């Protein structure tokens, strides 16, 4: 959801499921829980990340990727737009990270507890994917962006391990 120069997430934010069409965050979370409950003997990685594309405006794609390790995955995408182009790299990466942070906050203690109740703490990893890496211009932003997310219940990942942002979301920003 876009609001002027802000991008906001709440339970009613609409995501597109690659298999189920449009769902609110609440409905997407229910799909995640059902997916986990369908195979409690597997381990899971829940990853979130954002990528952006700049033209006359800045387009963001934020993703939730639920990987049943070795057995497939489900994914959810949210597209939003900022009505101005972001040309500064630090601002662009900061915005991507802040948008992902907002989504991470929707995975509150109650929701994470529901996932743990369905599976147990041993079989689940929560990852926060940031579209930065040790090569290229973004390397100077690693400490700053990773520091922003360390207090969450998510493990920060950067390239080449941040596929949710750098591959999954990136694929759908190119389609805008």
User: How far, CA to CA in Å, does 96 sit from each of 19, 30, 99, 101, 157?
Assistant: 25, 25, 5, 9, 14
Instruction: Return per-residue pLDDT of the chain as tens, 176 residues.
Output: 444 456 889 999 999 998 899 999 999 999 999 999 999 999 999 999 999 999 999 999 999 999 999 999 999 999 999 999 999 999 999 999 999 999 999 999 999 999 999 987 788 999 999 999 999 999 999 999 998 888 776 789 999 999 888 888 777 777 65
Predicted confidence at residue 28, as pLDDT, reads 98
Cα–Cα distance between 116 and 84 in angstroms, integer?
Answer: 40
DSSP run (H or E) holding 61? strand 58-68
State how far the Cα of 108 lies from the Cα of 137, in Å rounded to an integer.
33
Helices and strands in the chain, H and E counts: 6, 9
Q: Would you tell me how many other CB atoms lie within 10 Å of the CB of residue 5?
A: 8
Question: Could you give the CA distance from residue 46 to residue 167 in angstroms, rounded to a whole number?
Answer: 15
Q: What is the pTM of this model?
A: 0.91
Domain boundaries, the chain: 2-173
pLDDT at 120: 77
């Amino acid at each position: 959801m876009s609001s002027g120069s802000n991008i906001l997430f709440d339970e009613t934010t609409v995501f597109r499921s690659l298999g189920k069409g449009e769902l609110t965050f609440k409905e997407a979370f229910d799909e995640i829980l059902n997916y986990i409950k369908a195979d409690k003997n597997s381990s899971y990685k829940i990853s979130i990340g954002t990528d952006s594309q700049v033209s006359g405006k800045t387009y963001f794609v934020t993703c939730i990727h639920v990987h049943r390790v070795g057995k497939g995955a489900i994914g959810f995408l949210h597209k939003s737009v900022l009505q101005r182009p972001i040309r500064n790299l630090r601002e662009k990466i900061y915005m991507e990270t802040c948008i992902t942070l907002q989504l991470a906050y929707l995975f509150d203690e109650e929701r994470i507890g529901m996932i743990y109740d369905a599976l147990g703490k041993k079989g689940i990893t929560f990852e926060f994917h940031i579209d930065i890496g040790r090569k290229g211009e973004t390397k100077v932003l690693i400490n700053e962006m990773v520091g922003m997310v360390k207090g969450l219940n998510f493990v920060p990942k950067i390239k080449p391990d941040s596929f949710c942002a750098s591959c999954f979301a990136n694929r759908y920003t190119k389609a805008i």
